[in-house]
Amino acid sequence: MFSGSLVAIVTPMSADGAVDFAAWDRLLSWHLEQGTSGIVVGGTTGESATLADTELVELARRACECVDGRAAVLVGAGSSSTAGTVERVGRLCALPIDGLLLVTPAYNRPTQDGLYQHFAAAAAAAAGKAVVLYNVPSRTAVDLLPPTAARLSRLPGIVGLKEAVPQAARVRELIAACAPGFAILSGDDATAREAIIAGARGVISVTANVVPAAMSKMVAAALRGDPQAAQLDEPLRGLHRDLFLEANPIPVKWLLEQMGRIGPGVRLPLTRLSAVHHEAVRAAARAAGVGGLRGISTEMARGVY
């Protein structure tokens, strides 16, 4: 179910930080047109840390309605509290989503056994919905190690892992250790192609927010073992790099605004992209074939930068 190029989609917001549901619907339709395999709602790129549960549920509900089975819908349900995660899982499972994305608990730094028990409790509450784990040590300060992932892969309902440790060796270790059929998805655009060569089934991508068709084409080629995948990936490498010049999703939301696809909103404590990075991000977008960028940013036009 979960393979190919899945987008870790941004949450569009107006200048005052309110969720822009009209822009959300347009983004979803665009991704379907461009061949995106799956929509990940309320992940890191979707500013999960600042979304209210009511907003997350509405975003997920509208995604299911718009996508209507044409792509997978995964919804971020993880938190640093096991009880809070279980509660959110129950709420989201009332929707016709395809699965839940559960990140390792941030800040409290549980042991490997604590991680196992946390995810086991959430999966038990998932009411038959598929669960994809998410390991991103650079953000959470805890690493879900392959032996723990292997234990979890054998629990009912836990079907995959988004692995953001950017090492092909980690992907190979996970595939060897986990249950047959357990899906490994790259969580790092810059090394996604190498991860797929190592056995990952696809990527949950930030870059796909900007160039969904190009990412879909590159990932499909890599999954086929087509050597052309490297050529398809080369023009995207600037985006893979420069969309992280400041904390994700600051650069990607700014670029999507420049493309005219979303408004300027980003929620504190995140702020808009610093002017010093504007030209680098624009240049990376142009190199990837993105046209129609605004020539000057709103801040620069007003002298507020």
- The secondary structure of 142-195, three-state, reads CCCCHHHHHHHCCCCCEEEEEECCCCHHHHHHHHHHCCCCCEEEECCHHHHHHH
* Interatomic CA distance for residues 255 and 111, integer angstroms: 38
Within a domain: residue 72?
Answer: yes
CB-count burial class (<10 Å; 0-12, 13-18, 19+) for 290 = middle
Q: Which domain range does residue 213 map to?
A: 4-226
Q: Is the predicted pLDDT of residue 296 greater than 80, yes or no?
A: no
74 backbone dihedrals φ, ψ, rounded to 5°: -110, 140
Number of domain units in the chain: 1
Within a domain: residue 156?
Answer: yes
Those residues whose C-beta lies under 8 Å from the C-beta of residue 71, and which sit 6 or more positions away, are: 31, 32, 36, 37, 38, 39
Within a domain: residue 83?
Answer: yes
Query: Across the chain, where does the E strand assignment appear?
Result: 4-8, 38-41, 72-76, 99-103, 130-135, 158-163, 183-186, 202-205
Render pLDDT for 72-110 as a digit per residue (tens, 0 to 9). Answer: 999 999 999 999 999 999 999 999 999 999 999 999 999
pLDDT for res 294: 83
Distances (CA, A) of 292 to 259, 285, 296, 299: 6, 10, 12, 18
pLDDT for res 135: 98
Render pLDDT for 28-77 as a digit per residue (tens, 0 to 9). Answer: 999 999 999 999 999 999 999 999 999 999 999 999 999 999 999 999 99
Cα torsion 239, 244, 246, 248: sign: positive
Q: Is the predicted pLDDT of residue 298 greater than 50, yes or no?
A: no
Which pLDDT band, with edges at 50, 70 and 90, does 304 fall under?
very low
pLDDT for res 140: 96
Q: Clarify whether 134 is annotated catalytic.
A: yes
Contact 266, 253 (CB under 8 A): yes
Within a domain: residue 104?
Answer: yes
Which one of the listed residues 116, 129, 162, 253 is annotated catalytic?
Answer: 162
We report the CATH number of the domain holding residue 201 as 3.20.20.70
Render pLDDT for 1-31 as a digit per residue (tens, 0 to 9). Answer: 799 999 999 999 999 999 999 999 999 999 9
Q: What percent of the chain has pLDDT over 90?
A: 95
Render pLDDT for 190-225 as a digit per residue (tens, 0 to 9). Answer: 999 999 999 999 999 999 999 999 999 999 999 999
Q: Is the predicted pLDDT of residue 305 greater than 60, yes or no?
A: no
* Interatomic CA distance for residues 3 and 203, integer angstroms: 7
Which pLDDT band, with edges at 50, 70 and 90, does 295 fall under?
low
Averaged pLDDT of the chain:
95
Within a domain: residue 248?
Answer: no
Render pLDDT for 111-147 as a digit per residue (tens, 0 to 9). Answer: 999 999 999 999 999 989 999 999 999 999 999 999 9
Render pLDDT for 165-193 as a digit per residue (tens, 0 to 9). Answer: 999 999 999 999 999 999 999 999 999 99
Which one of the listed residues 134, 217, 253, 305 is annotated catalytic?
Answer: 134
Within a domain: residue 242?
Answer: no
Within a domain: residue 131?
Answer: yes
* Interatomic CA distance for residues 161 and 158, integer angstroms: 9
Q: If you average pLDDT over residues 263-274, what whole number do you get?
A: 97
Helix (H, G, I), strand (E, B) or coil at 224: helix
Q: Clarify whether 129 is annotated catalytic.
A: no
Contact 43, 101 (CB under 8 A): yes
Within a domain: residue 181?
Answer: yes
